[in-house]
Structures are given as C-alpha cells and as structure tokens.
Amino acid sequence: MSWSAELEHVSKSYGQILALDDATLKVGKNEIFTLIGPNGSGKTTLLRILACIETPDNGNVYLHGRKIDDKNRDKAKLNTTLVFQRTSLFATSVYNNIAYGLRLRNLSKNHVYSAVKRALRTVRLEGFENRLAKKLSGGEQQRVSLARALALDTSLLLLDEPTANLDPKSASLIEEIIKEVNQEKQRTIIMATHNLFQAKHIGESAALLVNGRIIKIGTIREMLTGESGELAELARIENIFSGTLELLEGGTSRLSLENGILIETALDREGRFSVFISPEDIIISKRRLESSARNVFKGTIEEILDYGSLVKLKVNTGRDFIVQITKRSFIEMGLNVGSLVYLTFKASSVKII
C-alpha cells in the first residue's frame, strides 16, 4: 500500500501544553481518514503539522513517502491544502478568492480561469464568480473555502471541521462534495470532526484523539464496540448513547440507558446499540412543549459554547445532551448557565451509529 501521509512518534508542545503526544499514523492513498476527538484533543495541531505549517518538536512526517525536513518543507507545503475551521475569505469577489492561491503559483491566466470554473462547479457555486465572498451565507462561504483548496489540485486535502457551525442542509451538501472529490478526483482527505455520525458516514478509518494522544485507530464501529474507555471518550464528543433497544408496538423501539433514562426511537431493532442525536435536531424551550415529538427531558444548562452565529449548550438531564441553536434564539430566550430547560426531539431523530 502506498501512503499519502505518515506520522512517526510526532509530538508538539505550545509552552507547557503538550498538544500532540507521540502520534503515529498512516493514511493510505485516496483514503478519507477522520480525526475525531473532544475540544482541544490535538486534531488541529495534527492537521497543521501535516500541512507543513507547524514543525513538530519530535518525530518524523512523511508525505507521499518523502520525509519532510527543513529543506523541503516549503515545497511540500505547496502539495497539501488545509481548509481551516473558521473560514476567512478576502473582502473581494468569489473569483478572486479562489484564484488567489493559483496566482501565487504564477499560473497562466487561462489556467487560473479554468481551475476556478472547475472548482466552482464541484462545490455547486457556478455563477457566483462576481459575488462578494463576504456577503455569502456561512454554508456558501465554506464552499468557497473548499473551492479555493480544490482549485490548487493538491493530492492531499486537509479539512478542519468543515461543517462545524453550519445548518444541516449546508453540512450535508459539503459532506456530499467531500465524498465526490475523494471518489471522482482521487484525492486523499484527512478531516477533523466532532460529529461521529459524519465520521462514520464519510470516512473509512478514523483516529480517536484524547489529550493529544491517539488512543485508537480503526473504524468508528470498532471504536463503538471496543473497550469501554474508548466508548466513554466517544460519548464525551456529542450525544452518543449506548443501551438496549426494546421493540414497542407500532414498529418503534425504546432505548434504555444504564441510569434509567429512556429514549424512544423509530428504529425497528432489538439488542445493544449505540445511537446518536444530532445537536441541531433537539429543540430547547423554557416550558414543556405540546408536540408530537416522543422525547422530552427536563434539565439544566451546564455549559455554553460560543461558535459565532451558533451556540452549543451542554444540558444535564441525568445525562449530558449537546444542543445547537442560533445565537439569536439563545439571546431572545435569555438562557444562561443554570437555566432550567426542556429538550424535545422526535423518535426519528435518533440514529444508529
């Protein structure tokens, strides 16, 4: 097997913080590999090292079989592209944003033109050339960032949480584009994500990072059926619950968690399963809602994470749930740490991992 990217005992510290601790990893050619882990676990640091933006303190990095050193690092940098978590587009047209990196490489005008057009087609933004990039929606801006990376035509594409802070429709469009780029254009993709469901859906193999260490490499399914320690780490990521599904009348089922919490699902299954509920599928309210949704829990907000136009809330109902709402709703509802809230979600929002 030929490898697109390899890390051998790579470590990186920022002052006292050991951001990456003895990481060893191999990613095959044309693979989609996901890095999964809680906040601050070292995913971005690992991507920055692979992008040659960051130099490791110890260990070796190989890209396409070639060991990276001080002499070839700048050249290697041109063969990988990192799409950052927080998009920062230039205050100019979509065309200029995508053409920027190509112009830096002194490519001809014709080459730049056709590469920009091709990239726009891939990200479904044909006709957006003259639009002002900063005026586009969050999802469109993220697709421009992706187009900017795709236009460079590098064989290794690094994506840092490409769908974080996007609405579900924009997120699934980006997932579709990522899969297409991998399959049709034969690119190796290494992607950091918080979203286990996404990791399982898009990627083949994954590395689970905790506190800068890679604690497991394998498929998400292997991690979910593996040691309980791994499962506990995965559960810290977002709304993953493991329990026993019991069939109910009418083709639905109920998942019993260890501490007596029951989640109703539309799954026609029985036995031990791990399920995932997307944070944007959970409605938060100050009063109990009258609705057809089968799951209602009362809880207290324990943590508030600000993601710009979106806010993630950790709500303890006996188990922690992560809920994602817009900043606008959050302000209008006057929520704060300690607020008592109700969480409501449909049985059909519960997905098996």
Contact residues toward ligand ATP (CB under 6 A) are: 14, 17, 19, 37, 39-45, 192
> Could you count the other beta carbons within 10 Å of the beta carbon of residue 279?
19
Report, in Å, the least distance between residue 44 CB and ligand ATP. Answer: 3
Report, in Å, the least distance between residue 201 CB and ligand ATP. Answer: 19
Rounded Cα distance, 139 and 143, in Å: 6
Strand-pair partners of 28:
3
Nearer to ligand ATP, 41 or 253 (CB): 41
Report, in Å, the least distance between residue 91 CB and ligand ATP. Answer: 25
Nearer to ligand ATP, 17 or 248 (CB): 17
Nearer to ligand ATP, 58 or 92 (CB): 58
Burial of residue 323, with CB atoms counted within 10 A of its CB: 0-12 exposed, 13-18 middle, 19 or more buried: buried
Rounded Cα distance, 320 and 239, in Å: 7
Give me Rg for the CA atoms of the chain. 22
Report, in Å, the least distance between residue 194 CB and ligand ATP. Answer: 6
Nearer to ligand ATP, 195 or 349 (CB): 195
β-pairing verdict for 262-265 and 156-160: unpaired
Buried b (16+ CB within 10 A) or exposed e, 145-180: bbbbbbbbebbbbbbbbbbbbbbeebbebbbebbee
Rounded Cα distance, 234 and 231, in Å: 5
Report, in Å, the least distance between residue 39 CB and ligand ATP. Answer: 4
Report, in Å, the least distance between residue 289 CB and ligand ATP. Answer: 31
Nearer to ligand ATP, 49 or 341 (CB): 49
| CB-based contact 77:51 (threshold 8 Å) | yes
The C-alpha angle 150, 155, 156, rounded to 5 degrees, equals 85
Report, in Å, the least distance between residue 195 CB and ligand ATP. Answer: 11
Nearer to ligand ATP, 170 or 195 (CB): 195
Q: Which two tokens stand for residue 71?
A: 């002499």
Report, in Å, the least distance between residue 190 CB and ligand ATP. Answer: 13
Residue 5 CB partners (closer than 8 Å, separation 6+): 25, 26, 27, 50, 61, 62, 63, 156, 188, 190
Rounded Cα distance, 330 and 205, in Å: 36
Nearer to ligand ATP, 122 or 324 (CB): 324
Nearer to ligand ATP, 136 or 164 (CB): 164
